[in-house]
Amino acid sequence: MKIVTYKIKIQYNLRIMKVIPTLSFITLIFLSAGCIRENRSGCGGYLSLKFRYTDSNGAPLTPGFPETDHLSVFVFDRQGIFVCERKDSALQLDHYIMEMPLPQGRYQFVVWAGLSESYRLSSHVPSQTHLEDFGLQLNRTTDNTVPILPSLLYHGLHETIDVNADEDQEITVDLRRITNNIHVIVHYATPTLQLRISIEDNNGNYDYQGETLSGQPISYLPEYSQPSDSPNTWIADFNVMQLQTDSDTRLKIYSPEKELQYNEKLISGLLAENPDIDFNSDHDFTIEITFDSYYVPVSIRINDWEIIIEEAVLPFFSPIKYMPEQRMSGRDQRMIELPDFLQSDLLHYPFGASVG
């Protein structure tokens, strides 16, 4: 509590009645300071916001407060019109409370914790911007590449509440994590120059509810490292936005010659193979892949869970039927008719090549 010393010079010829109002004014100042800084009981009209870290279903997580030192609260009225913003960058992780002096009325709140130069908020003008038009976008280059790791980001939303001028209130806003750390370890058969590793997804735009909006696919680039004692290993660290089980998120690996060698669905093809992963609460993943010299995976581990790679073995069939020769792209090619269960795609063999 900041102590302010007031010096009062009293003329001997002043009547005592002139001193009493001055002392009363000083007393009021100290009482007001204590009301704001210390115990606010009895002051009235203040809304106190507390925050807790939860999963996507609202279940509390440990630690109870997000790993961030930047908190931004956006206030909207009952009609969804933007009122004001309150920021704090010096958060105390234990028992943190943000006091929000608001006039009597009905309000709703959108919270973003962890905002940085990685993100851009939509325009929010008091008395003009509507809640439905308020959102967030991940910054990217003109070719939709995210060249630096985004900072950790959390989102919170609280429904409309009534604020009374003569009553203190306290609400708790649940914050859920939007970003995910992905640690990719690639072992190649032989020492190699730097591989190019990227993650592609369509998750760079969000509405006021923290839900993903459709947009252009973006490509995340990692921070690379290589163990000094392992010249055939490359490590790529990513921080990507919200992962959704139904999205076509891709992990892509290119050779030093920039040729695409590996293109796999990150969620359904890799992460979801680990039965212990819960996308509502898990946000840190380690993917370790060992390739042979043809970039064929021979071992995959997800958060220390090994995925068994089954080799496809074709059983014996009746002789393969050859279809008439056709000229395609200036070269003679012969198409074969596959068994029914393999006829999702036709394979093309160069003319003269032996089959089977």
Q: How far apart are CA 331 and CA 94, in angstroms?
A: 71
Output the pLDDT for position 278.
Answer: 86
Query: Looking up tokens 């991940």, which residue turns up?
Result: 138
Choose the weakest-confidence range: 110-114, 225-229, 273-277, 280-284. Answer: 273-277
Choice between 248 and 61, residue whose per-residue pLDDT is larger: 248
Confidence tier at 90 by pLDDT (50, 70, 90): low
Region 219-243: mean pLDDT is 95
Closest to 303 in 3D by CA, of 262, 261, 272: 272
Region 224-229: mean pLDDT is 91
Choice between 354 and 141, residue whose per-residue pLDDT is larger: 141
With a cut of 90, say whether residue 183 has pLDDT above it: yes
With a cut of 60, say whether residue 344 has pLDDT above it: no
Choice between 296 and 43, residue whose per-residue pLDDT is larger: 296
Q: How many CB atoms lie within 10 A of CB 271?
A: 22
Output the pLDDT for position 3.
Answer: 44
Classify residue 95 as exposed, middle or buried by CB count within 10 Å of its CB (0-12, 13-18, 19+).
exposed
**What six digits make up the tokens of 80?**
């969804």
**CA-to-CA separations, 92 to 37, 89, 213, in angstroms, rounded:** 15, 10, 33
Choose the weakest-confidence range: 12-26, 150-164, 180-194, 292-306. Answer: 12-26
**What six digits make up the tokens of 161?**
């509440």
Choice between 8 and 128, residue whose per-residue pLDDT is larger: 128
DSSP 100-122: EE--SEEEEEEEEES--TTEEEP
Region 284-297: mean pLDDT is 95
Q: Are 187 and 291 in contact (CB under 8 A)?
A: yes
Choice between 206 and 326, residue whose per-residue pLDDT is larger: 206
Q: Measured over all CA atoms, what is the biggest interatomic distance in the chain, rounded to whole angstroms?
A: 124
Choose the weakest-confidence range: 7-16, 71-80, 112-121, 288-297. Answer: 7-16
Confidence tier at 311 by pLDDT (50, 70, 90): low
Q: Do domains 47-116+151-177 and 180-307 have the same CATH topology?
A: yes
Choice between 315 and 138, residue whose per-residue pLDDT is larger: 138
Q: Are 313 and 294 in contact (CB under 8 A)?
A: no
Measured CA angle at 294 (ends 291, 299), to 5 deg: 20
Q: Where are the domains of the chain?
A: 47-116+151-177, 180-307
Region 316-338: mean pLDDT is 42
Choice between 15 and 149, residue whose per-residue pLDDT is larger: 149
Q: Are 48 and 75 in contact (CB under 8 A)?
A: no
Confidence tier at 322 by pLDDT (50, 70, 90): very low
Q: Are 278 and 180 in contact (CB under 8 A)?
A: no
Output the pLDDT for position 192.
Answer: 83
pLDDT tens track for 73-88: 999 999 999 999 999 9
Region 211-234: mean pLDDT is 94
Output the pLDDT for position 191.
Answer: 87
Into which CATH architecture does domain 47-116+151-177 fall?
Answer: Sandwich (2.60)
Q: How many CB atoms lie within 10 A of CB 249?
A: 25
Choice between 101 and 137, residue whose per-residue pLDDT is larger: 137
With a cut of 60, say whether residue 67 has pLDDT above it: yes
Domain spanning 180-307, CATH class: mainly beta
Residue count of the chain: 356
Q: What is the mean pLDDT of the chain?
A: 79
Closest to 75 in 3D by CA, of 36, 94, 102: 102
Classify residue 299 as exposed, middle or buried by CB count within 10 Å of its CB (0-12, 13-18, 19+).
middle
> Hey, which bits of 164-240 come out as E strands?
169-177, 180-187, 196-201, 205-206, 212-213, 218-220, 223-225, 233-240
Output the pLDDT for position 307.
Answer: 87
